[in-house]
Structure 1
Amino acid sequence: MDSTAVVTGAARGIGKDVVTRLRAAGYRVVAVDIAPLPFQDDGVVPLIADVTAPRTPQAAIDLALSSFGRLDLLVNNAARFLRRPILETTDDDFDTLFATNVRPVFRLSRAALPALVETRGCIVNTASISGLIGVPNQSVYAMTKGAIVQLTRQLAIEYAARGVRVNAVAPGAVDTEFMAEARASDPDPAASLAVTLSNHPIGRMSTPDEVARAIVFLASPESAGITGTILSVDGGYIAR
């Protein structure tokens, strides 16, 4: 396979496993993250950059085209998490989360779509169950993920006739460093973890690889009839 992908938030967690699974499927990958990237692989071109910087989205797409000659897949995965009551949430919190979680998805999608039309490619966004249902103390984070859900549906409709599919995954709690860092700031991390596990009928958090497999499925020919879908990878959370 000569397919090429751009993956953001690729240094760890879900993004890292997405890159690993895409490489196993034969993709060449431009891996984007502000942190150093762990890949030692000629098929992975690193771009150490901040996705919030205005030039990063176009730079990532241009790097894929200059390195591999085409673009077949964009995975918008980079994000920040915030769990805080709304009365304690500042304007800076609001602006930072939208600048990190939403604007780069818009910019990257806008930059990628001309190339994806040529290859009849795909976009897969990482949303969240927080963008689908109410979760306490996640007002701004939930708003950002709700925006991604709606952009996913909107682009799916706009680009279906041009052969571009756009879908998203909506994870529940995922066993990543990202989640562990957020939980460490809780007054009682053990109690917080117990509540999280009780909300997932399978009795555990999803693994990053389970979410990565869902992303790769949505990019694959096996999902050729799927667009505008938000695929929950949540251990049954929203089915309760």
Structure 2
Amino acid sequence: MTSTTTTSTTTSTPRVAIITGASQGIGAALVSGYRKLGYAVAANSRTIGDGDDPMVLAVPGDIAQPGVGQRIVDAALEQFGRVDTVVNNAGIFIPKAFVDYTDDEFDAITGVNLRGFFEVSRAAVGAMLSHGEGGHLVTISTTLVEHANSAVPSALASLTKGGLNAATRALAIEYAGRGIRSNAVSLGVIRTPMHEPSAYDALAKLHPVGRVGEVSDVVDAVLYLENASFVTGEILHLDGGQSAGH
């Protein structure tokens, strides 16, 4: 007697994360972190190129330019069919005396930090509302917003990132009833390509724990928030105690 077993296979669409500033440093590590969680990823930066992973969609574009944020979300929807998370990681940080900032620097910083956040998040929240399964916004901020330091003058970082902290809380409340969470990770100094290696000993002194943060610390914090379904409206300080005092 011969028995026949019929196997049916179903393909479920994975959750999908959009990550900006994804070509290097924290952004590239976040792409790997979300892939380990099983997410498909739409990865954006100005110069990002295709890789070997079919579940990572490279979407090049400058998010400071009008329309690029919508294009990133549209590309994610076309490729993967949904958007569940946005990590607003891209940002520009230029520390200098307030009176020395130029109009071009103002346009560059506000373009990426504010327009980029606004356009990507607006389009993504619209997509999340359409599929009706909630979602998550995570925004990378800086502890300098609450803990200004005369050794690191950066008023434009505070102007933009402080606004993003406020928007993080506002969106958390506006969409709590629709299952969309909104959180931020407020960073101290992290060991990334934006700092000269020779500067880390001095930068470590900004943090009571006596070291700078690592990229892996940031990934751990973002993925904690991703999995923390009861946390929304939170500004999570990842700064070695800097925001608590010195």
Same fold, TM-score > 0.5, yes or no: yes
Q: What's 2:33 paired with?
A: 21
Q: Does 1:230 align with 2:235?
A: yes
TM-score normalised according to structure 1 size: 0.90
| CA deviation map 1:137-178 (0-9, x unaligned) | 111112111111111011111111111000000010000002
Q: What's 2:191 paired with?
A: 175
Which structure has the greater CA radius of gyration? 2
- Displacement after TM superposition at 1:37 (Å): 4.1
Q: Does 1:31 align with 2:43?
A: yes
Q: Does 1:197 align with 2:211?
A: no
Q: What's 1:135 paired with?
A: 149
Q: 1:202 to 1:125 in 2, by over 3 A?
A: same
Q: 1:207 to 1:24 in 2, by over 3 A?
A: same
Q: What's 1:216 paired with?
A: 223
- Please say if residues 131 and 147 of structure 1, whose CA atoms lie closer than 8 Å, have aligned partners that are also in contact: no
Correspondences of 1:141-156 after superposition (within 5 Å): 141-156=157-172
- Displacement after TM superposition at 1:132 (Å): 2.3
For structure 1, the 5+ residue unaligned runs are 184-189
RMSD over equivalenced CA pairs, Å:
1.6
Q: What's 2:98 paired with?
A: 86
Q: Distance in 2 between matches of 1:179 and 1:208?
A: 13
Q: 1:179 to 1:37 in 2, by over 3 A?
A: farther
Q: Distance in 1 between matches of 2:154 and 2:14?
A: 40
Q: What's 1:120 paired with?
A: 134
Q: What's 1:187 paired with?
A: none
Q: What's 1:76 paired with?
A: 88
TM-score normalised according to structure 2 size: 0.88
- Please say if residues 65 and 111 of structure 2, whose CA atoms lie closer than 8 Å, have aligned partners that are also in contact: no
- Displacement after TM superposition at 1:129 (Å): 0.6
Q: Distance in 2 between matches of 1:194 and 1:85?
A: 23
Structure in which a larger fraction of residues adopt helix: 1
Please give the secondary structure, in 2, of the residue aligned with 1:11. Answer: coil
* Equivalent residue in structure 1 for 2:74, among 49, 54, 62: 62
- Please say if residues 5 and 73 of structure 1, whose CA atoms lie closer than 8 Å, have aligned partners that are also in contact: yes
Q: What's 1:2 paired with?
A: 14
| CA deviation map 1:2-31 (0-9, x unaligned) | 100110000011111110000001000000
- Displacement after TM superposition at 1:195 (Å): 3.4
Q: Distance in 2 between matches of 1:132 and 1:23?
A: 33
Q: What's 2:181 paired with?
A: 165
Q: What's 2:4 paired with?
A: none
Q: Distance in 2 between matches of 1:15 and 1:119?
A: 25
Q: Distance in 2 between matches of 1:116 and 1:78?
A: 21
- Please say if residues 18 and 213 of structure 1, whose CA atoms lie closer than 8 Å, have aligned partners that are also in contact: no
Letter in 2 for 1:203: G
The structure whose RCO (Cα within 8 Å, separation 6+) is larger is 1
Q: Distance in 1 between matches of 2:207 and 2:47?
A: 31
- Displacement after TM superposition at 1:38 (Å): 7.2
- Please say if residues 19 and 44 of structure 2, whose CA atoms lie closer than 8 Å, have aligned partners that are also in contact: yes
- Please say if residues 48 and 59 of structure 2, whose CA atoms lie closer than 8 Å, have aligned partners that are also in contact: no
| CA deviation map 1:210-233 (0-9, x unaligned) | 10121122122xx11110000011
